[in-house]
Amino acid sequence: MKCISILSVAFGEFSSSSPLPYAIWLRIKLNKAGFKFLDDGKISAVLNKKTEPIGEFYAWYDEESQVTHFKQELSKEQCCL
């Protein structure tokens, strides 16, 4: 059994007037959607330095819809990390 998280982010969803840098904003959205990274809960997560997703991580951009899709697949053991 695997745990699968999926998130789609539309072009323009991030506001350039946001007080957060795009990378941090995206990381927060990914975490809220259930994505897991090795540095979750550590200061490096806030700084977004050398972050590594756990398990299989996929990202692809659909030019027609201008949406970036993210998918993470975790093994049963990784789901509990």
Determine the Cα–Cα distance for residues 66 and 9; give it in Å rounded to an integer: 9
Q: What's the domain count of the chain?
A: 1
The one-letter code for the residue type at 67 is V
Query: What pLDDT was estimated at residue 46?
Result: 66
Summarize pLDDT for 49-58 with one digit per residue, the tens: 677 889 999 9
Determine the Cα–Cα distance for residues 56 and 10; give it in Å rounded to an integer: 22
Claim: this prediction has a pTM higher than 0.85: no
* Residue among 53, 54, 58, 62 at smallest CA distance from 70: 58
Task: Please state the separation of Cα 19 from the chain's center in Å.
Answer: 19
* Residue among 43, 34, 38, 30 at smallest CA distance from 69: 30
Domain that holds residue 57: 2-79
Summarize pLDDT for 59-81 with one digit per residue, the tens: 999 999 999 999 999 988 887 76
Please indicate whether residue 78 or residue 7 has the higher confidence score (pLDDT): 7
Summarize pLDDT for 34-47 with one digit per residue, the tens: 999 888 877 766 66
